[in-house]
Structure 1
Amino acid sequence: MPIVPAELVHANLSIDRAEVQRRLLAGETLLKDTPDHLLEVVDVLKSYGEVLDAYSINLIYQAERQFLNPLPIFKYLDGDHSPAKIWRHLNHDRINFEYAEYCQKAMFWHATGGMDAYFDSEAFADNCRRIIDAKRRRDPLLALLNPLFPGFLPELIRSAATTHALGQFWRVMSDLFLDLAAAEADGRVRSIPAVVEFIKDGLVAAAANPIRYGVSIGGEQLWVLPPEAGLTFLVDVAVPYVEAVFLRGMPFLGTVSFNAQAQQISPDQAQFTYGALYADPLPSMGSGIPPSLLMQDMYRHLPERLHQWYRERTRGEGDVRVKICMSFQKSMFCVTNAAINGTMPHP
């Protein structure tokens, strides 16, 4: 048996841009409809749904309970400071919330969609001023920092707003992926086109869900993302998430030179192609590769049916996380497919 499995050594058969456009406009799926693909996509999304549940809970906890905390050393504990929880955390018997933060930073940095436009508005600046005035009366450190660095706290508030919005987005997606697994189990979903349609219907149903975020300071409720901002699930969070995480992403340490003279990274963020849909699965579990954290989280929640399918292929358990990454990539093509279809007036 070769050291590198034959199925991982092949010519690049990826379709070109024109073919992608043709398939999308024709209402076809980007992923080929096969029984193996159906098993991979449904089961890996079931695992992902369970992981997203934990990610969502923690991001919302961070945004609401760790808001403007200068030393958030317990931010991954979801408010449970018991010795058992801390011990499991220190022994790394836990979900890797660092990957959730990586996705949040990608969204925050690429800054697309209506939420970013609202961040630049005078209304948001007024909200920040009210929040900072209320917070610094109770926090001497923030009272000292704000006059010295007037742009620092508003930037932290923008980051917290992105964190909370991503938590709300993942709450919907977690429920949707777990519902998809249940639909496949009872025979309602039997093909890749049906998977795409199921996800699209879920996205469309949640499209108009309002994205709101407020914090409580000294018993006073203050809005960060108020209802008046008019932010909604699909246009202002889901689509920017797909663009930032699936398409653009950020270059991983150790895979490309960060030396500006080497010119290996485009100076134009719109040209970035480091997202999940472009990712090479082989570096999974390598140092500095953030999706490795997600692959480990998904491995902990892997359905037995998919786990057995992996054991029977290539190096069994030896490259299971690489195979999870490949299945996850296929599933993200389906999610992207559904998101694009959901923004079109008709197939």
Structure 2
Amino acid sequence: MVTTPIQPSQHPLAEYIYRLERGDALLKDTPDNLLEVVGILKSYGVVLDKYSNNLNYIGKHQFLVLFPFFKYFNGDVSFSKLLKHWWHDRINYEYAEYCMRGMLWHGGGKLDDYIDSQAFKANCDRAIQAKLKNNPFILGLNKIFPNFLLEQAKMSAYYAALGQFWRVMSDMFLSLSDRYDAGEINSIPDVVQHILDGLVADASRPITFEVDIKGEIYTIIPQEAGLTFLMETAVPYVEAVFFRGFPFLGTVSYNAQASQVPHEQGDFNYGALYADPLPVGSAGVPPTLLMHDMRHYIPEYLHHLYQNSLRGEDDLLVKICISFQKSMYCVTTAALRGLAPHGLDTQNPEEIMANRQFLEGWMSRFLSARMVDVNNDVLKL
């Protein structure tokens, strides 16, 4: 039996396809890359823990609170905490909301379908009546604009869903750091495998949403809805936050006549995999908030690497952004391995070609991303 030889890929990023096929990652496996990725994911895991707790708090306890002045306080409001908040000595929870709104706006997956269903509307209607039965003004406003409170409830559902997603990711990244410290993680492929194992382990974890109204629990998203961690939060999150995002105010014009914002939603490429580290270090650009948060929790070995580079800490946020993008290409590698139609280590020619077609489609989305740049970026000592 004659086996047809596998033809080389003609894709401009074929090198990265071959990397994945031989078990490597989209990021080069070097000691410095490993140190940067694990270190920044340690910091990110701590920040995600705080983001997750706050999103879950807002979803459950700020449901239909139209002016949530204290939503970032997690129920613990004090004068000293208020002073720190005004002084901006706090975690930038606004970035978590930026990601939540990105997921809500871009949509995708069964969660997006479910919040438009009659079952979701019926659950929300019961909660709305219970929450606002003594507020005839808002209920009257809701009759005039019947989607007004329903849209607020949809946003709360995404607060809760993203909070549950980040809970899993935070634990995954912190356990990665623990394994690295214990000498169990020794390469970039080890990092990818750890993330892939975590995604698979929690793939079927149910995404649910309940609110407590005057001591009674109202179910907004029941377990019977069949929403799960991987397909209803992880995949839409990658699409909305890694790839699409929103144009950053102040860096492009929203004026339609200027034509600086794409006409088609699917053409947005402002996500984490595309963001230029220099604008990310600028005020008003949402990812800058995340970089500020992560700088507080960088492990000493990564901090030492930054301090001994060419500019020291003068461009710390830029360095953090580059390290973060490197780590996200490791997460993306794990996601591609998990989503590929066949195992990437297959020797079956038909399966190899099916995988290659799948990977070429994804590589086309990386043509304008920073994948090549982060692979060529080495901190100058």
Q: Which of the residues 343, 348, 353 maps onto 1:346?
A: 343
Query: 2:231 aligns to what SS in structure 1?
Result: helix
Q: Which runs of 5+ in 1 are unaligned?
A: 1-14
Query: 2:94 aligns to what SS in structure 1?
Result: helix
Aligned position for 1:48: 44
Matched, 1:328 2:324: yes
Higher Rg of the two aligned structures: 2
Matched, 1:186 2:197: no
Separation in 2, partners of 1:29, 1:141: 57
Structure 1 residue 139: Cα displacement: 3.2
Figure out how many residues of one structure are paired with residues of the other and give that number.
333
Out of 120-129 and 199-208, give the one that drifted further. 120-129
Separation in 2, partners of 1:287, 1:253: 10
Structure 1 residue 24: Cα displacement: 3.8
Q: Which of the residues 125, 142, 161 maps onto 1:165?
A: 161
Aligned position for 1:219: 215
Aligned position for 1:256: 252
Structure 1 residue 114: Cα displacement: 1.1
Change (3 A) 1:140 1:81: farther
Change (3 A) 1:212 1:311: same
- 1:115-142 Cα offsets, whole Å, 9 max, x none, are 0011122211211222222222033442
Q: Kindly provide the amino acid, as one letter, of the partner of residue 307 in structure 2.
A: R
Separation in 1, partners of 2:20, 2:98: 29
Q: Which runs of 5+ in 2 are unaligned?
A: 1-10, 345-381
Separation in 1, partners of 2:18, 2:118: 42
Q: Kindly provide the amino acid, as one letter, of the partner of residue 296 in structure 1.
A: H
What TM-score do the two structures reach when normalised by structure 1?
0.92
Q: Kindly provide the amino acid, as one letter, of the partner of residue 292 in structure 1.
A: T
Q: Kindly provide the amino acid, as one letter, of the partner of residue 346 in structure 1.
A: G
Change (3 A) 1:328 1:58: same
Q: Is the 8 A contact 1:135 1:142 kept in 2?
A: no
1:1-347 to 2 correspondences below 5 Å: 16-344=12-340, 345-347=342-344
Out of 336-345 and 262-271, give the one that drifted further. 336-345
Q: Is the 8 A contact 1:51 1:297 kept in 2?
A: yes
Separation in 2, partners of 1:26, 1:68: 51
Change (3 A) 1:300 1:148: same
Structure 1 residue 230: Cα displacement: 0.2
RMSD value, Cα: 1.5
Out of 249-258 and 17-26, give the one that drifted further. 17-26
Separation in 2, partners of 1:335, 1:183: 17
Separation in 1, partners of 2:179, 2:314: 31
Query: 1:283 aligns to what SS in structure 2?
Result: helix
What TM-score do the two structures reach when normalised by structure 2?
0.84
Q: Percent same amino acid among aligned pairs?
A: 56
Aligned position for 2:373: none
Q: Is the 8 A contact 2:59 2:159 kept in 1?
A: yes
Separation in 2, partners of 1:110, 1:155: 15
Structure 1 residue 219: Cα displacement: 2.9
Out of 88-97 and 142-151, give the one that drifted further. 142-151
Query: 1:250 aligns to what SS in structure 2?
Result: coil
